[in-house]
Amino acid sequence: MATWTRTWPFHLMVWPALLFLIVFNYVPMAGIVMAFMDYKPWLGFTGSPWIGLDHFRALFERDDSIQVIWNTLVISVLKIVFNLIVPFTFAILLNEVRKRLLSRTIQTLVYLPHFLSWVILGGILVNFLSTDGGFANRVLGFFGLGPVFFLGDGNWFRVTVVVSEVWKEFGYGTIVFIAALANINPSLYEAAEVDGASRWKQTLHITIPSLLPMAIVVGTLSLGNILNAGFDQIFNLYNSLVYDKGDIIDTFVYRTAIIDGDFGFATAVGLFKSVISMLLIIVAYRLAYKLANYRVF
Amino acid sequence: MKARKQRKGLLWLTLALVTALVTACSGNGGKNANSPAPEGSASASATGSGETASAYKDKYDPPVTITTVWGVDPALKFKNGETIENNVATRWALETLGIEIKSLWSVTDTNNAFVTKMRLAMSSNQKMPDVVTIGDAQLAQDLIDTGMFREVGSLFDQYANDKWKQAMNLDPNVWNPYMRDGKKMGIPVLDYAYNHDYLLWIRQDWLDKLNLEGPKTLADLENIMDAFKNRNPDGLSPDKVTPLSIGFKTTMNTWMGDPSWVFGAYGTIPGQWNVGADGKLEWGSIHPASKQALETLKKWRDKGYIPAEAALWDENKTAEPAVAGTAGIIPGPYWMSGWPLLDTAKNVPHAVWKPYPIPTGPDGKAGRHGTHFTSGVTLIHKDMKHPEALFTYQNYLFDHLADPEPGSQWDIGVFKGYDYDLDANGNPVYLDKIPGGEVNINRYWLVKDGARIPDAQMKALLNLADGKEPVTRLEKEVKNNYGPETPAAAKVLMSQPDISYKDMFTGPATPTMQSKLDYLKKIELQTFNEIIYGKKGLDEFDKFVGTWKSSGGDQITKEVNEWYASAH
């Protein structure tokens, strides 16, 4: 009983978060049944007819299904890889900046784009990358390089999407690694210095190995998003010229399900994505444990 | 032990919550199941003139409330810190009619935001507004199918005034899309005839300096575009000029910067259902003429006549170079002289835009997409307590706003300081002369654009074009608000009434459309753009037609024709 009187405030503090989780993450799961229904909002869950796996069949029967899934995978894998490498490297570099004020300023500046919405950034990028006097192409022109149709050429579109995403998000990712860096025991560096290790050797043998577990955590967690290639971004940037390289599952679901109102289909695709993500997370989790002897949970 | 107890408590709480939520949700769902729409509370003897027996009143005291939702055009301006929820028009409704317009929500309507939000509201069983005007045809059909909105035909017959009824009778087909089992489920929102028909706006000052005539054929047009680009009268370098400002980000068939007349010159209109040679409906984009049009568009893009990034440009973007004074030609409605082209003078004071007819193709054909008499539908919620209040509101607008006799209260304008103002001598002033600028109050009304009688505006404009002084309110309004060239443009437009082709399919989406239409639209836009951008050869068009037909297009065509046969 003594512990209860001491700990009850903590329990109280947990409840709002728990409630939130239940209301917004668990209760909506009941909606999964829509994936197997020809769901009509006005008929509700009880009135809509069951159609079995028709929605899943429809997802794979479209002539462009494979292409769309492939686009999603390519774009999201590239994003995951670069969103890991860039913040990782950047955190180490920033750690070497000895002027505290400078490193803090840089950290804040690179963190800022994270707060911009893709609606705004999309508009800016369209002008920035325009072949018709956009800044990027003017700079290229200065070096004698031909105008690049960044948003109208499929391959360049992928590059644009990945680079702009990394630019926007790497500051956010850096924070995690900087926190991990702060946790490295300083005595390791002191010992290395006594042994005569250069800064490069210190980075190679102390900093990087100490950061790896965190990199594995981040990588594992992001695997769950492998079928999310970033709806807001693609939707605000894509156009019919890059459908073959840039149409992803989410934009395609938006067009069929939201615009045309087929919610059952949208749910089916969402369920499909969740199942794949869960499998990937389980696999990655096991791998992380096996290879790096690291447990996330 | 203690820990176990706590866990049990938590579990219990969780369970209780889940049950509570589930029951709440399902309870809600049950209520929305099809219950018969209640009939209007008014007695059948009422004639709509405000007799004591009728619920209909010219002014409600105490005020009644009408709830609604808004999709706000991003280009719509407000002044004096007003919003769509609270502005001069909502205050007017409360003061004059005793009707309080209450907004459940509003959203800036970019990227289809209004349709999306409305769909989500519908699917999550959110509170639906008493009155909502929907422009999106498919959404309107789905909302009607929810059963949440009531039959309106009886209300309309009972409460609508003569002026409104006459306007509606100009084309009885306007009700067609909203009929369910012989019942009228939504009131069509009337729009001006030819409102979205377009013509070519050309920089007359450029033509004059180059000593060129307006284009009669596509060949003439090519000459003009070439001269605009390579011998620009304003001295702009060729890469700075957009000879023809068009865009096709989401469709080849739109309302401003529209390329569909290029297809029209070869005998089809893309992205809509046209009546074919056999009297049946056919999808314009797969017509062989589309292939020739694509060839022409590709040629124009290669020569730099159309924007290099036309595939990324939406309608508003095509107006940018026109207003900036770097575009020579822009296709658009006859009213464009007022907005946006009027702003060109701010950037290039000597710029003069003149309307020209749609040029003909090599075989003398010409075509543009036509405009239905309606721009959407107004739905009335079945639980609305005072549906007659909507008619109080709309009857007033049809009497005083649509096309009143000279000398009525809104003769010189509606709201002082908004769409007109008075100068020191008491004479009305308009547009930029209004302190703080003009705002488009017609978008503030409960029903989009207030009240319009389809043929009224064209009649007024043609009167003005013939040199008549403006007498009626509408004549004055078009003279003052629609830009100097609008009457002339109307006359140009009416010189080619026969080349206007309406989308002939206005029914609800067919079963195959629901599953296949997105894919068909996607390959269409993709193929067209790839051909125009030279990524694929012109032969790709034939392959596209084959794929279109076999991937559900033939089935959709069949279904569409079944609907057409039943509706006509």
Six token digits for residue B563: 């609907």
The shortest C-alpha distance from B377 to chain A (Å) reads: 18
Contacts of B46 (CB under 8 A, 6+ apart): B53, B54, B55, B56, B158, B159
Q: Are residues B356 and B246 in the same domain?
A: yes
Q: Is the pLDDT of residue B47 over 80?
A: no
- Quote the pLDDT of residue A296: 58
Q: pLDDT tens digits for chain A (297 residues)?
A: 567 888 888 888 899 999 999 998 888 888 888 889 888 777 777 778 888 888 888 888 878 888 998 999 999 999 999 999 999 999 999 988 888 899 889 999 999 999 999 989 988 998 898 887 788 888 888 888 878 888 888 889 999 999 999 999 999 999 989 999 988 888 999 999 899 888 889 999 999 998 988 888 888 878 878 888 889 999 989 888 888 888 998 888 888 776 666 778 888 888 998 888 888 888 888 877 877 676 655
Which run of H or E residues covers position B545?
Answer: helix B540-548
Q: Are residues B314 and B214 in the same domain?
A: yes
Residue B538 lies in a domain: no
- Quote the pLDDT of residue A25: 85
Residue B104 lies in a domain: yes
Cross-chain Cβ contact B522/A58 below 8 Å: no
Q: Are residues B204 and B245 in the same domain?
A: yes
Residue B495 lies in a domain: no
Q: Is the pLDDT of residue B2 over 80?
A: no
Spatial distance between the Cα atoms of A266 and B197, rounded to a whole number of angstroms: 36
Amino acid, single-letter form, for residue A149: F
A136 touches chain B (CB under 8 A): no
Q: Are residues B212 and B347 in the same domain?
A: yes
Residue B268 lies in a domain: yes
Residue B474 lies in a domain: no
Spatial distance between the Cα atoms of B259 and B253, rounded to a whole number of angstroms: 7
3-class SS of residue B353: strand
Q: Are residues B228 and B352 in the same domain?
A: yes
The domain boundary, picked from B468, B488, B507, lies at B507
Q: Are residues B302 and B407 in the same domain?
A: no
Chains A & B: contacts with CB separation below 8 Å? 117
Spatial distance between the Cα atoms of B517 and B509, rounded to a whole number of angstroms: 9
Residue B524 lies in a domain: no
Spatial distance between the Cα atoms of A59 and A154, rounded to a whole number of angstroms: 23
Q: Which residues of A touch B147 (CB under 8 A)?
A: 42
Which run of H or E residues covers position B389?
Answer: helix B387-397
Q: Are residues B388 and B262 in the same domain?
A: no
Q: Are residues B320 and B256 in the same domain?
A: yes
The domains found in chain A, sorted by start residue, are: 42-292 (1.10.3720.10)
As for how many domains chain B has, the answer is 2
**Hey, how many other C-beta atoms are within 10 angstroms of the C-beta on B238?**
13
Q: Are residues B223 and B363 in the same domain?
A: yes
Cross-chain Cβ contact B530/A261 below 8 Å: no
Mutate to test the interface with A, among B110, B115, B123, B125 (most CBs of A within 10 A): B123
Give residue B445's domain range: 50-190+374-453
pLDDT digits (tens, 9 = 90+) for B420-449: 888 888 888 887 888 888 888 888 999 988
Q: Are residues B292 and B318 in the same domain?
A: yes
Region B494-510: mean pLDDT is: 87
- Quote the pLDDT of residue B24: 43
Please name the residues between 189 and 228 in chain A that touch chain B, using a CB distance below 8 Å: none
Cross-chain Cβ contact A258/B514 below 8 Å: no
Residue B289 lies in a domain: yes
- Cα pseudo-dihedral B407, B413, B415, B421, rounded to 10: -110
Here the CATH number for the domain that contains residue B328 is 3.40.190.10
Q: Which residue bears the tokens 């978060």?
A: A17
pLDDT digits (tens, 9 = 90+) for B222-251: 999 999 999 999 999 998 899 999 999 888
A169 touches chain B (CB under 8 A): no
Q: Are residues B337 and B222 in the same domain?
A: yes
Region B123-135: mean pLDDT is: 89
Spatial distance between the Cα atoms of A256 and A261, rounded to a whole number of angstroms: 7
Cross-chain Cβ contact B522/A255 below 8 Å: yes
- Using 50, 70 and 90 to split pLDDT, how confident is the model at B29? very low
Helix A118-128 vs helix A154-182: crossing angle, to nearest 10: 130
C-alpha dihedral sign at B370, B181, B42, B387 = negative
Q: Which residue bears the tokens 């005595």?
A: A187
Model ipTM value: 0.77
Cross-chain Cβ contact A259/B518 below 8 Å: yes
Residue B319 lies in a domain: yes
Q: Are residues B352 and B418 in the same domain?
A: no
